Amino acid sequence: MATHVHFGVIGAGGIARRKTIPGMLKSERCRLVAVMDPVGIDQIAAEFDVPAAYTSEAELLADPAVEAVYIASPVYLHARQIKMAAAAGKHVLCEKPLTLTSKEAQEAVAACRDAGVFLQEGYMMKFHGAHRKIKDLVDAGRLGKIVYMRAQLSCWYPRIEGAWRQDPKTGGGGALMDMATHLFDLLEYFAGPARRVACLAGTLVQDYRSDDASTTLLQFASGAQATVDCFYCIPDEASRTRLEIYGSQGAVLSEGTIGQSSQGTLEGIFGLGDAGYDATQNKDVARRFETIAFDAVDPYTAECEYFAGCILAGKAPTINDGAGAIHVTSLAEKAYASAAEGRFIDV
């Protein structure tokens, strides 16, 4: 019985080179056998000691040693490359967002299903140790009924010539599509599906076509409410990437867990909600929050490990699967429509 999966990487620069390839190489279930990028591929192959390097996806997909591919190219290329990989019989782990539109996502998912290959989208934040711990606490009822959530992810992303995220034709959108979708996916992991969305999105500071500012209000099927704030125009040092989840019996708060690392802090307070009304409302008193330990797991290693495990077991992924990819892309489209039309939109 096989114990590992042979991967090829399409679009081996960028996030693949910085995060996913190093994460993949730490997984006992993954073997990197080929990389592809139109520029600098020989240097990338040498950096990671990869035996095969290609400048076109067709060459990599024709390599019989490749059993699965990780796609990290610009978003406008995803739909075509997913279909090519499916036709070549390769399983697909693809960076988020899966495609430019929900229609393209439906076509990509159908291509993989018809070819009998597995598809997983790269929303890796659900694999972060702190977020897994929060999920356990929520599922165990430690917070009571979830009432409100807030998730924050911002950075300073000035104009860069040729940057595909700065043009909606190549990236699908800006701060909302690139970052807020991460948080839509994460909050639904905790609270279940969203049912209504309202959004403000536009360009406030940066000089490019994609939105550099977005604030989204979500209502979930459970009744819970949430805000997601994502900006390309807030300096990195000024944003603490906070995650806040408030329930009828307590709360959990994290800082630094949203992003591309395995670190951060997590604290919580539990066992509340049975006291009478405090008319004094003194909010300057000390709160009894406790520090919560969690495993410092590389989320990129964990997502690759999970996908490889699904392939080895012959069971399709249930985390970040094709249906989820279509849903999150559709949710982003509805958020943009809400920003344009100035109204709530049902999901």
**pLDDT value, residue 20:** 98
What's the predicted TM-score (pTM) here?
0.96
**pLDDT value, residue 283:** 80
**pLDDT value, residue 280:** 85
DSSP 29-87: TEEEEEEE-SSSHHHHHHHHT-SEEESSHHHHHT-TT--EEEE-S-HHHHHHHHHHHHH
**pLDDT value, residue 159:** 98
* Per-domain boundaries in the chain: 5-124+300-320, 130-297+329-346
Kindly report, residue by residue over 166-196, the tens digit of the pLDDT: 999 999 999 999 999 999 999 999 999 999 9
- In the CATH hierarchy, which fold is given to the domain comprising 5-124+300-320? Rossmann fold (3.40.50)
β-bridge mates for residue 150, sequence order:
227, 244
Kindly report, residue by residue over 115-141, the tens digit of the pLDDT: 999 999 999 999 999 999 999 999 999
- Check whether 285 has a pLDDT greater than 80: no
Is 130-297+329-346 a CATH 3.30.360.10 domain?
A: yes
Q: Which residues contact 279 (CB under 8 A, 6 or more apart)?
A: none
User: What φ, ψ does residue 118 adopt, rounded to 5°?
Assistant: -85, 150
pLDDT band at 278 (very low <50, low <70, confident <90, very high): confident
- Check whether 103 has a pLDDT greater than 90: yes
DSSP 157-224: ----TT-GGGSHHHHS-SHIIIIIHHHHHHHHHHH--EEEEEEEEE-SS-SSSS-SEEEEEEEETTS-
**Calpha distance 336→174 (Å, rounded):** 11
In the numeric block, which tokens belong to residue 254?
A: 């994290």
Q: In the sheet that 30-36 helps form, which strands lie side by side, from edge to edge? A: 52-54, 30-36, 5-10, 68-71, 91-94, 119-121
**Calpha distance 52→281 (Å, rounded):** 65
Q: Is 109 exposed, middle or buried (0-12, 13-18, 19+ CB in 10 A)?
A: buried
Please determine whether the domains at 5-124+300-320 and 130-297+329-346 fall in the same fold group of CATH. no
Which residue's structure tokens are 């006291």?
275
